[in-house]
Amino acid sequence: MQRLKKRREFLAAAKGRKASRRAFVLESRFRDDDQPPRFGFTVTKRTAKKAVERNRIRRRLREAVRLVAPACAREGYDHVLVGRRGALTLGFADLTADLAGALTAMPPAGPRIARTGGDPTP
């Protein structure tokens, strides 16, 4: 698993598509290359005041990605998992199921279709 480390990579993923789940928010961006998917993890102090809790959330999310990503993650994507407090109490099987569902729910990237700004027809 390749990791996102630079701030600009995290910010770019934040501008992409989002999938909200009980234990995390998945932010994904298509890179337009054939490289393996990359993952970043973040947990804010607002989510968990104690560093021990933030680290536990990050570890659980990292392990879930390690198990699920080979089967569900598409090439050419950057993913950021923003941890939520629910990651501490949610069962690990439910956590991995939520992650698998979020990764497979991301629509495949392709050419974007421009929307026309005309009036809707009645």
Question: pLDDT tens for residues 12-31?
Answer: 999 999 999 999 999 999 98
Q: Using only C-alpha atoms, what is the Rg of the chain?
A: 16
8 lies in a domain?
yes
Does 122 fall in a domain? no
Residue 118 lies in a domain: no
Do 23 and 87 meet the contact criterion of CB atoms below 8 Å apart?
yes
Residue bearing tokens 């690990």? 92
User: Given its phi and psi angles, is residue 32 left (phi above 0), alpha (psi -120 to 50 degrees) or beta?
Assistant: left
pLDDT, tens digit, 9 for 90 and up, residues 56-81: 999 999 999 999 999 998 888 999 99
- In a domain, residue 59? The reply is yes
- Report yes or no on 55 lying in a domain: yes
Does 58 map to a domain? yes
Q: Residue 47: CB partners within 8 Å, gap ≥ 6?
A: 54, 57, 83, 84, 85
Q: Is position 82 within any domain?
A: yes
Q: The CATH number of the domain where 59 resides is what?
A: 3.30.230.10
Q: Is residue 116 part of a domain?
A: no
